[in-house]
């Protein structure tokens, strides 16, 4: 006897009037955000993508030039200089900042008298406005009467020309960045405090020293926080702008100057701003989309390779 199978298609569940009413109310509540996203995020992004393929004019119609802006970037020496300077900061400043933040977070987690005062001292620089802190550090880095070179002179060390020597300009900016890493320290500190004490106590009962507990328990348990700080640091450093712009402007006395000395502080965002300020809008839009692609690729690569060293509670990502 032939056997037949009957496939029963499940009935489509219809929304009840109450569910439909709640859905409409929810859409109405989030409609301000949806409109803001469409008007102030999605539309500007789509517009900039179109502009990147044109020679954009303010008073006349834009001229479609295809990939010419992107092709011209390949022959722009300052474009490659700005990209090199930015990658330099990403490769050196971001890992150094993560390591320093983790070390200080571990120290601030120690049970000492005045612990809250120490935490406040380390966090305060991160809430100082960037313009004010940049001007302060320019005085500290002053070659002749800066406090840093005066301090080095007490030990018989002749301080370098931090702001006028291309060799020392980027290290000076890195040092200034380490001064304002309070936010990263706080994030690490919260993660360290969430490490289960049962794991630390079990390791101690097994004879593990403080350093071994730190290396084999604490650091792996905060690896997901390390990944978060790493990604945010890379994204932020690729958009590095304010401090370098203030340094160059203060040295030359011109607001339109950039990259001083000798383009050593010409970072990608600084050069992009310069192209935009000079009304090279299509060129600047092309640079912006290249920056977007670079950041996207770096983020995806970090997420991909983080599976080997990042631990998530519960064993799932």
Write the pLDDT tens digit of every residue in 203-236. 989 888 989 999 999 999 999 999 999 999 999 9
How much is the pLDDT for 263?
86
Give the residues of the chain that fall short of pLDDT 70.
Answer: 1-12, 251-257, 313-317
Cα–Cα distance between 243 and 237 in angstroms, integer? 11
- For every residue of 2-37, DSSP letters joined together read -------PPPPPPPPHHHHHHHHHHHHHHHHHHHHH
How much is the pLDDT for 164?
85
Cα–Cα distance between 123 and 179 in angstroms, integer? 10
pTM of the model: 0.86
Q: Looking at the domain 71-308, which fold is it?
A: MetI-like fold (1.10.3720)
How much is the pLDDT for 12?
64
**Boundaries of every domain in the chain:** 20-69, 71-308
Q: From residue 222, give the alpha-carbon distance in Å to each of 77, 104, 156.
A: 41, 14, 41
Cα–Cα distance between 4 and 17 in angstroms, integer? 39
Cα–Cα distance between 183 and 47 in angstroms, integer? 34
Query: How big, in percent rounded to 5, are the helix, strand and coil portions of the chain?
Result: 70, 0, 30
How much is the pLDDT for 7?
53
How much is the pLDDT for 1?
46
């Amino acid at each position: 006897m032939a056997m037949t199978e009957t496939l029963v298609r499940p009935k489509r569940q219809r929304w009840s009037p109450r569910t439909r009413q709640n859905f409409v109310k929810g859409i109405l509540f989030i409609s301000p955000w949806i409109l803001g996203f469409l008007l102030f995020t999605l539309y500007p992004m789509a517009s900039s993508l179109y502009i990147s393929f044109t020679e954009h004019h303010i008073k006349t119609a834009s001229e479609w030039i295809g990939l010419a802006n992107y092709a011209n970037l390949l022959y722009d020496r300052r474009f490659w200089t700005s990209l090199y300077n930015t990658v330099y900061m990403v490769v050196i400043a971001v890992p150094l900042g993560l390591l320093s933040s983790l070390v200080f977070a571990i120290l601030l987690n120690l049970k000492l008298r005045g612990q809250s005062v120490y935490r406040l001292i380390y966090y305060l620089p991160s809430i100082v406005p960037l313009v004010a802190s940049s001007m302060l550090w320019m005085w500290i880095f002053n070659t002749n009467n800066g406090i840093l070179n005066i301090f080095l002179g007490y030990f018989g060390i002749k301080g370098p020309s931090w702001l006028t020597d291309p060799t020392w300009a980027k290290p000076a900016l890195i040092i200034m960045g380490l001064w304002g890493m309070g936010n990263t320290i706080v994030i690490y500190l919260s993660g360290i405090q969430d490490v289960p004490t049962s794991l630390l106590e079990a390791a101690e009962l097994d004879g593990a020293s403080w350093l071994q507990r730190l290396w084999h328990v604490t650091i792996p348990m905060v690896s997901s926080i390390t990944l978060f700080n790493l990604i945010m640091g890379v994204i932020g450093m690729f958009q590095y702008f304010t401090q370098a712009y203030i340094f160059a402007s203060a040295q030359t006395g011109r607001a339109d100057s950039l990259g001083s000395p000798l383009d050593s502080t010409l970072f990608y965002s600084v050069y992009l701003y310069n192209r935009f300020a000079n009304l090279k809008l299509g060129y600047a839009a092309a640079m912006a989309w290249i920056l977007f692609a670079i950041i996207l690729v770096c983020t995806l690569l970090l997420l991909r390779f983080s599976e080997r060293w990042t631990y998530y509670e519960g064993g799932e990502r």
